[in-house]
C-alpha cells in the first residue's frame, strides 16, 4: 500500500511538469504532446463532446470509469491545478515539520512526540468515544456548494453560457495562470540566457516571443494564483472540494466507487496522524471515518499510518433517515448558490469595464477569430479560454483579453490581433491543439482558403498617396495575392483588395508602415467563408540559351 503515494507523486509530477512545459511554450509546441496531455482533461473533454467530437465522450467515460473503480485519482494525478496546489500544501507541511521538530521518518516509529510543542497544544481529552488525540483537521463538507455549484455550472453550459466554466475549470485556470503569470517571467529568463549564450556562440537556447497581452487578464490570473496558493497553504485542497466543478462531479461519482479508502476500526487508534496529513480534510479520525467523496487520492494517509489502518475496502455506508429540516436548509442554500453563481459570472465582465484599451487602431466592427473556429457564435459557446492555442501560436497573433475590444467574445476567449503579428499561411497549430473543439482541426490546404475576414484599404492613409513612396509592403506580405497593384500615378502603384482571394490573415495590416493609422486592415467575418485558391501566373522563361550579358 505504501507504494501508492510514490506512484501518485511520479505520475502527478510528470503530468505537472509536462503541462508546465507545454504552456510555457519556450520551444514550438509539440502537437502530439499537447493532445495526449489534454485529451483526458474533464472540462475540455466535456466541451469537446458538446462540440460534436465523440472522443470527448470517450475521455469522460474513461475518467468516470477510473473514478468508479478507485475514486478521485484524477484529482491527484491528472489535474495540473491539483498538483500546483499540492506545491503550496507541501510548503506548509515542510514548514510545520520544521516547527514541530517531528522525528524523521523511521526513527523509532513515527508517532509524533507527545512533548513536541505543536502537538502539545492540540492534545485534548478524547473528544468522543474515539481515540486519544484529536488533531482538529477534519472539516465538515460544504455539500450545498461543492455539489450545487458544478450542477449550476453544467446547467449554465447546457444553456450556452460557458463563462462559469471559464473561471472554475481547473485545467483552464492552470493554463491561464501559466500563460499569463509564469510564462512572461520564463520568457524573460529564457531570452536572457539565449542572448548571453549567443554571445559565446551557443545557439541552443532559442529566444521566445514576449507576448504582452491585456494587463487585466494578467492581474486576474495572478489574483487567482495567489488566492489558490493561499487557500491551499492553509486549507489544503479546499478549492477542489468547494468550487471546482470537476471535483464536485467526481465527488458524486466517487460516492459509488467500488473500492474506497477506509479506516480499519480495529487497527486505527485515532491518533490523528492521517488526518493531519490529509489534503482534503476529510478524515474524521475521532470517529474513524473517511469521507471518500472528498478524498483526492493523494495516499498521504496510507503512507503515514504505521499501523496499516488505512485500506481500500468495498461497500457502501448505511443510508441515514431523511432529515426534513436539513432538506429545507439545503434548498435555501441552493438558492444562495444560484445568486453566488450569477454574481461570479459577472465578475469578469465587471473587471472588463475597467480594462485598459491597449491598441488604438482603425474602427473595426467584427472581431476576428482563429481559423477553424467557424463562426463567432460557435466559438463563443465552446472556448473556455485556457490559452493553449495562444501558447502554441508561433507568431503570437492569437491574443486573450479580459474584454475583447470589439466586445463580441467572452472574457479570455482569444482573437486575432494584427497589431503585432499575423497568421502564418502554413500554420494550423491552433486547430490541432485545441482541447475543447472550439477550434476545429484544419488541413494546411483548408486553412489556406479559410477566410476569417477581408482586408479593407484606406487610400487616404497609404504612404504611396501621402508620401509618394513606392511602398506596397502589403502586397509583398500577402500570401494569397489578394492584393492587386493598380496604377496610382507616374510609376507608383496602390493596392486593390480582391476579396475573393483574401483570407484575412492580417499580413497586410501588420506590415503596413502607415502611421498613426494603418492604410489597410482586416474586417472580420461573423461566419468564416471560403476564399479562392490563388493561381500562379506562369512564365515564359526558357532554360536554353546563353547568359544575356
Q: State the residues that interact with other proteins by CB under 8 A.
A: 28, 191, 194-195, 198-199, 201, 203, 206-207, 209, 394-395, 421, 424-427, 463, 467, 469-473, 475-481, 485, 511, 513-515, 534-539, 541, 543, 546-549
Nearer to other proteins, 283 or 462 (CB): 462
Other residues' Cβ atoms within 10 Å of the Cβ of residue 200: 6
Q: How far is the CB of 246 from other proteins (least distance, A)?
A: 35
**Pairing verdict, β 492-497 and 483-489:** antiparallel
Answer for the pair 455, 482: CB distance below 8 angstroms, yes or no: yes
- Nearer to other proteins (CB atom), residue 253 or residue 483: 483
Find out whether 77 and 466 touch, Cβ atoms under 8 Å: no
Instruction: Answer for the pair 186, 179: CB distance below 8 angstroms, yes or no.
Output: no
Residue 279 beta carbon to other proteins: minimum distance, rounded to whole angstroms: 41
Shortest spacing between CB 483 and other proteins, in angstroms: 9
Can you name the residues that pair with 453 across neighbouring β-strands? Answer: 524
Identity of the residue, 115 or 544, whose beta carbon is nearer to other proteins in the bound complex? 544
Find the shortest distance in angstroms from Cβ 490 to other proteins: 12
3-state secondary structure of 526: strand
| Smallest separation, CB 296 to other proteins (Å) | 39
CB of 24 to other proteins, least distance (A): 15
CB of 220 to other proteins, least distance (A): 28
Nearer to other proteins, 103 or 479 (CB): 479
Return the C-alpha cell found at 230. 493561499
Q: Are 31 and 429 in contact (CB under 8 A)?
A: yes
Judged by beta carbon, residue 337 or residue 514, the one nearer other proteins is 514
Beta carbon nearer to other proteins, 131 or 184? 184
Is the Cβ of residue 127 or residue 186 nearer to other proteins in the bound state?
A: 186
CB of 166 to other proteins, least distance (A): 28
What minimum distance in Å lies between the beta carbon of 461 and other proteins?
Answer: 11
User: Which residues are paired to 523 by β-bridges?
Assistant: 454
Rounded CA-CA distance 440/428 in Å is 10
Compute φ and ψ for 172, nearest 5 degrees.
Answer: -60, -40
Q: Between residues 54 and 538, which has the closer beta carbon with respect to other proteins? A: 538
CB of 194 or CB of 297, closer to other proteins: 194
**Interatomic CA distance for residues 142 and 148, integer angstroms:** 10
As measured in angstroms, the least distance from the Cβ of 33 to other proteins is: 17
Task: Give the DSSP per-residue string, 281-344.
Answer: --EETTTTEE-TTT-----HHHHH-TT--EEEE---PPPPPP-HHHHHHHHHHHHHHHHHHHHH
Minimum CB separation of residue 485 from other proteins in Å reads 7
Q: Which residues of 294-328 are buried (b: 16+ CB within 10 A; e: fewer)?
A: bbbbbbbbbbbbeeebbeeeeeeeeeeeeeeeeee
* CB nearer to other proteins: pick between 89 and 507: 507
What b/e sequence results for 500-537 when a residue is b if at least 16 CB atoms lie within 10 Å of its CB, and e otherwise?
ebbbbbbbbbbbbebeeebbbbbebbeebbebeebeee
How far is Cα 294 from Cα 279, in angstroms, rounded to an integer? 10
Contact 60, 49 (CB under 8 A): yes
Report the distance separating Cα 170 and Cα 243, nearest Å: 10
User: Alpha-carbon Rg of the chain, whole angstroms?
Assistant: 29
Which CB, 337 or 497, lies closer to other proteins? 497
Q: Which is nearer to other proteins, 357 or 426 (CB)?
A: 426
Nine cell digits for residue 170: 481547473
* 272 vs 263: CA distance, rounded Å: 11
* Sequence-distant (≥ 6) Cβ neighbours of residue 84 within 8 angstroms: 16, 174, 177, 228, 229
Cβ closer to other proteins: 208 or 253? 208
User: Under DSSP, is residue 522 helix (H, G, I), strand (E, B) or coil?
Assistant: strand
Angle, alpha carbons 130-135-141 (nearest 5°): 85
**Is the Cβ–Cβ distance between 45 and 442 less than 8 Å?**
no
CA distance 433 to 184: 21
Q: How far is the CB of 525 from other proteins (least distance, A)?
A: 21
- Least separation in angstroms between residue 373's CB and other proteins is 21
Distance between CA atoms of residues 74 and 98, nearest Å? 31
For residue 523, give the DSSP letter.
E
Amino acid at each position: 500500500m505504501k507504494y501508492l503515494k510514490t506512484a501518485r507523486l511520479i505520475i502527478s509530477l510528470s503530468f505537472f511538469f509536462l503541462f508546465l512545459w507545454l504552456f510555457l511554450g519556450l520551444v514550438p509546441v509539440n502537437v502530439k504532446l499537447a493532445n495526449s496531455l489534454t485529451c483526458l482533461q474533464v472540462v475540455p473533454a466535456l466541451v469537446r463532446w458538446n462540440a460534436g467530437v465523440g472522443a470527448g465522450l470517450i475521455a469522460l467515460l474513461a475518467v468516470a470509469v477510473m473514478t468508479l473503480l478507485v475514486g478521485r485519482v484524477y484529482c491527484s494525478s491528472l489535474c495540473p491545478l491539483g498538483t500546483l496546489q499540492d506545491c503550496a500544501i507541501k510548503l506548509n507541511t515542510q514548514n510545520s515539520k520544521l516547527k514541530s521538530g517531528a522525528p524523521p521518518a523511521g526513527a523509532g516509529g513515527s508517532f509524533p512526540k507527545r512533548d513536541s510543542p505543536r502537538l502539545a497544544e492540540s492534545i485534548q481529552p478524547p473528544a468522543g468515544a474515539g481515540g486519544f488525540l484529536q488533531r482538529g483537521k477534519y472539516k465538515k463538507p460544504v455539500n450545498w456548494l461543492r455539489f450545487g455549484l458544478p450542477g449550476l455550472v453544467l446547467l449554465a453550459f447546457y444553456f450556452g453560457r460557458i463563462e462559469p466554466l471559464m473561471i472554475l475549470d481547473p485545467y483552464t485556470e492552470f493554463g491561464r495562470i501559466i500563460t499569463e503569470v509564469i510564462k512572461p517571467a520564463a520568457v524573460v529568463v529564457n531570452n536572457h540566457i539565449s542572448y548571453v549564450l549567443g554571445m559565446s556562440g551557443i545557439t541552443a537556447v532559442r529566444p521566445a516571443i514576449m507576448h504582452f497581452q491585456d494587463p487585466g487578464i494578467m492581474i486576474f490570473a495572478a489574483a487567482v494564483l495567489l488566492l489558490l496558493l493561499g487557500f491551499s497553504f492553509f486549507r489544503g485542497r479546499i478549492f477542489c472540494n468547494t468550487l471546482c466543478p470537476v471535483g464536485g462531479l467526481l465527488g458524486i461519482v466517487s460516492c459509488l466507487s467500488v473500492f474506497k479508502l477506509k479506516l480499519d476500526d480495529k487497527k486505527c487508534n485515532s491518533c490523528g496522524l492521517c488526518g493531519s496529513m490529509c489534503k482534503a480534510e476529510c478524515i474524521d479520525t475521532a470517529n474513524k471515518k473517511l469521507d471518500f467523496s472528498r478524498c483526492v487520492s493523494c495516499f498521504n494517509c496510507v503512507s503515514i499510518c504505521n499501523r496499516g489502518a488505512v485500506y481500500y475496502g468495498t461497500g457502501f455506508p448505511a443510508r441515514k433517515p431523511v432529515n426534513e429540516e436539513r432538506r429545507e436548509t439545503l434548498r435555501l442554500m441552493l438558492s444562495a448558490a444560484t445568486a453566488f453563481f450569477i454574481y461570479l459570472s459577472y465578475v469578469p465582465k465587471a473587471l472588463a469595464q475597467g480594462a485598459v484599451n491597449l491598441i488604438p487602431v482603425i474602427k473595426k466592427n467584427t472581431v476576428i477569430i482563429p481559423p477553424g473556429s467557424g463562426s463567432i457564435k460557435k466559438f463563443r459557446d465552446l472556448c473556455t479560454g485556457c490559452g493553449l492555442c495562444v501558447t502554441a501560436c508561433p507568431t503570437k497573433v492569437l491574443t486573450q483579453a479580459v474584454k475583447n475590444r470589439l466586445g463580441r467574445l467572452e472574457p479570455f476567449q482569444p482573437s486575432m490581433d494584427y497589431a503585432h503579428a499575423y497568421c502564418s499561411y502554413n500554420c494550423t497549430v491552433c486547430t490541432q491543439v485545441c482541447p475543447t473543439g472550439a477550434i476545429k482541426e484544419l488541413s494546411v490546404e483548408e486553412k489556406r482558403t479559410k477566410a476569417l475576414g477581408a482586408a479593407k484599404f484606406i487610400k487616404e492613409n497609404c504612404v504611396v498617396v501621402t508620401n509618394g513612396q513606392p511602398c506596397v509592403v502589403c502586397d509583398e506580405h500577402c500570401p494569397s495575392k489578394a492584393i492587386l497593384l493598380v496604377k496610382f500615378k507616374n510609376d507608383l502603384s496602390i493596392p486593390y483588395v480582391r476579396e475573393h482571394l483574401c483570407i484575412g490573415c492580417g499580413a497586410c495590416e501588420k506590415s503596413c508602415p502607415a502611421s498613426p493609422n494603418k492604410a489597410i486592415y482586416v474586417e472580420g467575418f461573423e461566419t468564416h467563408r471560403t476564399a479562392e485558391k490563388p493561381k500562379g501566373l506562369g512564365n515564359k522563361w526558357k532554360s536554353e540559351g546563353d547568359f544575356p550579358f
